[in-house]
Amino acid sequence: MGFILSVLLSGSVMAQTKKFQVNANDIKAQIQQNMWGVFFEDINMGADGGIYAELIKNRSFEFYKPLMGWKREGKAYKEGDILVINRQDAKSNNPRFLRVKANSVAKGDFTLTNEGFRGMGLKKDLAYEFSVFYRQLKSGIQLNLELLDGKGNVIGTGKLIPENADGNWHTQKTTLVSSATELKGRFRIAFEGTGEIDLDMISLFPTDTWKKRPGGLRADMVQRLADLKPGFIRFPGGCIVEGHELSTRYQWKKTVGSVEDRQLIVNRWNTEFAHRLTPDYYQTFGLGFYEYFLMAEDIGANALPILNCGMACQFNTAEVVPMEQLDEYVQDALDLVEFANGPVTSKWGKVRSDMGHPASFNLKYLGVGNENWGPQYVERLKVFQKALKSKYPEVKLVFSSGTDPEGERFQYLDKELRNLKVDIIDEHFYRSPKWFLENAKRYDNYDRKGPKIFAGEYAAHSGKTATPDNINNWLTALAEASFLTGAERNADVVQLASYAPLFAHLDGWQWTPDLIWVDNLHTYGTPNYYIQQLYSLNKGTHAVSITSENEVVAGKDGYYASATIDKKTNEIIVKISNYDANSREIELNISGIKKLNNTGKDIYMVSDIDAVNSIPAPLNVSPKERMVKASGKTVKAKLEPYSFHVFKFKATL
């Protein structure tokens, strides 16, 4: 009897309309207009083979196997006709080049083919710019250039006859047009004639790069970022910053200046996961710090660079630089601020200016350390903090609270960083959807006077990290959306937030899940991407209170909610997540305003919890919009099972 009664009661509770009170006068926080950002790391072929539009893999023959990605073929080719030469100290950043010899070679009898990064994306009617560094020892060889489709058919041709024969290095360019669209194309050089020539920096770029910049970025990938209207871009990592060991840490100074002088290094994600080995993954730094700053500026985001703190990845070697040798690292940080903001008369300001940007990049944030932990980290941070704050007090410093959002490492660092009165603490959480739901109140009791929080890397994981069953489905996105109501409610503390990782190539990934997936020609945003976008595009200017039964809405009966007002556009914005298998009626009662428009929008996402997006169905799980009515200051709506809603009403505030 008791059981039946309780079932009946719970059924009637579920059927009742859930009422929410929004009080626009009860302002909880001012929302940073740059709160929602992106975190870029060269993982999953995010930079080389991804957003950096170079199509030739191993263009300067500096991979550990100098001819990796290249194939020598043809009946006229004999051993020794292509030599890899190492000039070592004479050009230590880019020591290797190819020496090619030909003797009465007919076109097609001696070729060199590049396979690209899991093939090359080629587009019908698009021009591709070929460039090469060469030195003729004996003139007479011409380079016939061919774009190939996946089957080896020629779909574009060009020719380069070297113009200079003075025995010095020169560069020369030409263009080829593709007659077909191909996902996994290749590029072939067919040598012809008699002679001897040295070749280096063999390069092929599409001409439809972002802002049509030669040697630039893939426009479709940058556009995905721009569409998020990100408030900041954190770069270049991630563990990339730390390196497996210190010699492979990210050193920004080696990524600026002429591209051919940027010394490549192995990408630390190449062998991290045994089931996803990527030995051909290198960082050429064609996308270097100047290009990162430029991209940030282009898409209206604040740059948020992270630098090495004198420690390599603690999951790998945990190599540390001795304290007495930390100066070089600290100097790199000081010089970076000068590179970004310094006058053109300063040493590093001049480097920026010479690269094409005399104006300051207006750097406001700088991070030191990524997922470092322990007393060694704190000891080093103190040195950075002192040096940076005394020279650049206006730059906000971001320090990491380690790998996890709880536990011993976290507790220790959180306490130490608060004692140091740091500006911003960078928290990372890769956790189950359940964790996200259970932690929607995480920030409710954070110290309002302490450091601000940067939720710098987060993602709900449906399976084990980096395994194929850990996917970007609607369940994970809805769990993140639910959790983020808590970040928005506490926007006075949580001032920056970014999902991680950002990009993944379908044929070259190491880590899942990721925000945006790409192949050589296409991109798609995951359901998680659209959640980030909904928060970013509908942030409002102030968080205000929203309660149900006099409590914050953070999980009871599967509801999660936050509310903001936008004083610039005069809007009330209410986000509600229905994390439940039933559809339910809700009522929003809005006080603290003079008038509510009688129609508004419900921008919503709903799907099967297992649903995903893909290249053929990129919008399978994505926001839709419908009109919703208000009566006086009350809005009634129906929430579908497992749905997320952004209700937006114009109001007289």
Chain residues in the site for ligand AHR (CB under 6 A) = 41, 43, 237-239, 370-371, 457, 500-501, 511
d(CA 484, CA 232): 17
For residue 532, the minimal CB distance to ligand AHR (Å) is 15
Q: Which amino acid is residue 181, in one-letter code?
A: T
Considering beta carbons, is residue 268 or 645 the nearer one to ligand AHR?
Answer: 268
In degrees to the nearest 10, what's the CA dihedral of 289, 291, 295, 301? 20
Burial class (CB in 10 A: 0-12, 13-18, 19+), 652: exposed
Q: Are 495 and 452 in contact (CB under 8 A)?
A: yes
For residue 430, the minimal CB distance to ligand AHR (Å) is 7
For residue 286, the minimal CB distance to ligand AHR (Å) is 20
d(CA 140, CA 194): 5
Considering beta carbons, is residue 411 or 465 the nearer one to ligand AHR?
Answer: 465
For residue 356, the minimal CB distance to ligand AHR (Å) is 30
d(CA 135, CA 190): 18
Considering beta carbons, is residue 47 or 143 the nearer one to ligand AHR?
Answer: 47
CA nearest to 339, candidates 330, 348, 347, 331? 348
For residue 459, the minimal CB distance to ligand AHR (Å) is 8
For residue 272, the minimal CB distance to ligand AHR (Å) is 9
For residue 427, the minimal CB distance to ligand AHR (Å) is 11
Angle between helices 289-298 and 219-226 (to 10 degrees): 50
Q: CB pairs under 8 A, 24+ apart, for 408-411?
A: 409/373, 409/374
Q: Are 577 and 561 in contact (CB under 8 A)?
A: yes
d(CA 96, CA 58): 11
CA nearest to 285, candidates 304, 258, 309? 258
Q: HEC string of 608-634?
A: CCCCCCCCCCCCCCCCEEEEEEEECCE
Considering beta carbons, is residue 461 or 645 the nearer one to ligand AHR?
Answer: 461
Burial class (CB in 10 A: 0-12, 13-18, 19+), 610: exposed
Q: Are 546 and 574 in contact (CB under 8 A)?
A: yes
Cα 182 to chain centroid, rounded: 26
Considering beta carbons, is residue 288 or 501 the nearer one to ligand AHR?
Answer: 501
For residue 43, the minimal CB distance to ligand AHR (Å) is 6
Considering beta carbons, is residue 121 or 501 the nearer one to ligand AHR?
Answer: 501
Considering beta carbons, is residue 238 or 558 the nearer one to ligand AHR?
Answer: 238
Residues 6 or more apart whose CB falls under 8 angstroms from that of 205 comprise 53, 54, 55, 128, 129, 131, 214, 215, 216
d(CA 420, CA 412): 12
Residues 6 or more apart whose CB falls under 8 angstroms from that of 289 comprise 236, 252, 255, 256, 305, 336, 339
For residue 520, the minimal CB distance to ligand AHR (Å) is 23
Which residue's CB atom is positioned nearest to ligand AHR? 238
Residue 528 parent element (H or E)? helix 527-537
Residues 6 or more apart whose CB falls under 8 angstroms from that of 33 comprise 231, 539, 541
Considering beta carbons, is residue 187 or 269 the nearer one to ligand AHR?
Answer: 269
Is 371 known to be catalytic?
A: yes
Q: Which of 41, 54, 291, 371 is catalytic?
A: 371
Q: Which amino acid is residue 53, in one-letter code?
A: A
Residue 17 per-residue DSSP state:
P
For residue 315, the minimal CB distance to ligand AHR (Å) is 8
Show the tokens assigned to 46.
Answer: 């995010």
For residue 336, the minimal CB distance to ligand AHR (Å) is 19
Considering beta carbons, is residue 239 or 294 the nearer one to ligand AHR?
Answer: 239
DSSP result, 310-353: SB--TTTT--B--GGGTHHHHHHHHHHHHHHHS-TTSHHHHHHH
Considering beta carbons, is residue 57 or 234 the nearer one to ligand AHR?
Answer: 234
Q: Are 188 and 122 in contact (CB under 8 A)?
A: no
Considering beta carbons, is residue 186 or 268 the nearer one to ligand AHR?
Answer: 268
Q: Are 620 and 611 in contact (CB under 8 A)?
A: yes
Q: Are 181 and 521 in contact (CB under 8 A)?
A: yes
| Residue 96: C-alpha distances to residues 16, 231, 254 (Å) | 73, 41, 18
For residue 370, the minimal CB distance to ligand AHR (Å) is 5
| Residue 193: C-alpha distances to residues 104, 114, 181, 190 (Å) | 5, 21, 31, 10
Mind telling me the catalytic residues? 371
